Chains A and B, each alone.
Chain A
Amino acid sequence: MSDHDSAPAAPAWLGGVRDSLPLLSGYIPVAVSFGLVATQAGFSSLETLAISGLIYAGASQFVFVGMVAGGAPLWLAVAMTLLINLRHVVYAPNLAPWLPPSRWWPWLMHGLTDQVFALALARLPQLAERQRVGWFCGAALLAWLSWIAGSLLGALAGEWLMTQWPLLGEVMPFALPALFLVLVAPRFTSPRWALALCVCIIAALAFTLGGLANVGIPLAAALGGLCFFTLRAPRLPGGQR
């Protein structure tokens, strides 16, 4: 067995855990909400846990549970779940150049959520190759376990929690935009990048306000990318593009 295939070293695990701690304040309130919604829709605590542990994709879980509870055909609920999660298709290829050979990666892809991707894309290039599997394990596992624990908490005591601390559910999720801002800020390296990123952020915000949050992510990213490459297009003599 090569070095790459040996179990990840503890310090790298810990680094991943430490870096993913900010994710928790965003994950847990949403997971608690999911646990509450799922039990109110008639799912047991065990079933709620199974959905969170196996599907592990926030928005699509709400849709799956809502459609099943509403009596929609099961194939349609599955199709909608996959459609919402289709945006994940571009995450792993972006990380691939930073992933050293290891048999662990296929298993770890289960933990590749929006947030873990954003964190990994920013941190993996800064780490030594031998640390990357361990770092990703720590970050992805903590995020996954916090999602499962939050869902269980929501299923068992969600209603009580929401009435006791209503403000907490509103304030804690702000950790996610704060974290994403910190992750995207180093990319503002030139006017070209800055303009394309701003177009992308504003477009995603507009899509969300228009009720298109999930489809808005890939669409806004495509718009930002289009802006980036349009700005690069060389000018021909005479000022024409």
Chain B
Amino acid sequence: MSIELWIALLAGALGTYLIRLLPLLWMQRRLRHSRERAGTESMPAWLGVLGPMMIAAVLGVSLVPKTLDSSGWYATGLGLLATLLVWRRTRSLGLPVIVGVASFAAVILLLR
């Protein structure tokens, strides 16, 4: 890899890191100021809504199966249903995911 390419890689890496870091520093300063002024921390209301929405958006993006055929969609639907049912019973993180993946795999194996 040429020097120019290494510089491009480092620029991409530094830029990505700053995209993740600088908003944290901004928000920490904002929270500190609001705490000093009012005695409590305050986060903008829109930001508190945007967080869960970002997770929901990433969920929506990840729902698209690798192979866009009917078995892929059936497997996705059944996998989500199984995940949700186990989550309602256990309220845990790991087991619903394991059951969801197993259900997804079972449908793929049965239909293909």
Considering the complex, which residues of chain B in the window 47-96 have a beta carbon less than 8 Å from any beta carbon of chain A? 47-67, 75-76, 79-80, 83-84, 87, 93-94, 96
Q: Would you give the shortest CB distance from A23 to chain B, in whole angstroms?
A: 9
CB of A109 within 8 A of CB of B24, answer: yes
Residues of A in contact (CB 8 Å), total: 91
Give the interface size class of chain B. Answer: 35 or more
Given contacts A60-B16, A170-B108, A181-B84, contact A90 B60 (CB under 8 A): no
A54 within 8 A of B: yes
CB of B23 within 8 A of CB of A106, answer: no
Proximity bits, B1-45, A CB within 8 Å = 1, else 0: 100110111111101110111011111100100000000010100
For the residues of A in contact with B, the DSSP-based class is: helix
Contacts of A204 in B (CB 8 A): 56-61, 63
CB of A109 within 8 A of CB of B21, answer: yes
Q: How far is the CA of A147 from the CA of B37 in the complex (A)?
A: 43
- Which B-chain residue is minimally distant from A87 (CB atoms)? B54
Q: How far is the CA of A228 from the CA of B97 in the complex (A)?
A: 28
Q: Would you give the shortest CB distance from B95 to chain A, in whole angstroms?
A: 10
A209 within 8 A of B: yes
Name B's A-contacting residues (CB within 8 A).
1, 4-5, 7-13, 15-17, 19-21, 23-28, 31, 41, 43, 46-67, 75-76, 79-80, 83-84, 87, 93-94, 96-98, 100-101, 104-105, 108-109
Other than the given A22-B93, A220-B61, 7 more pairs (CB < 8 A) read A55-B12, A55-B13, A78-B15, A82-B12, A170-B65, A171-B101, A181-B83
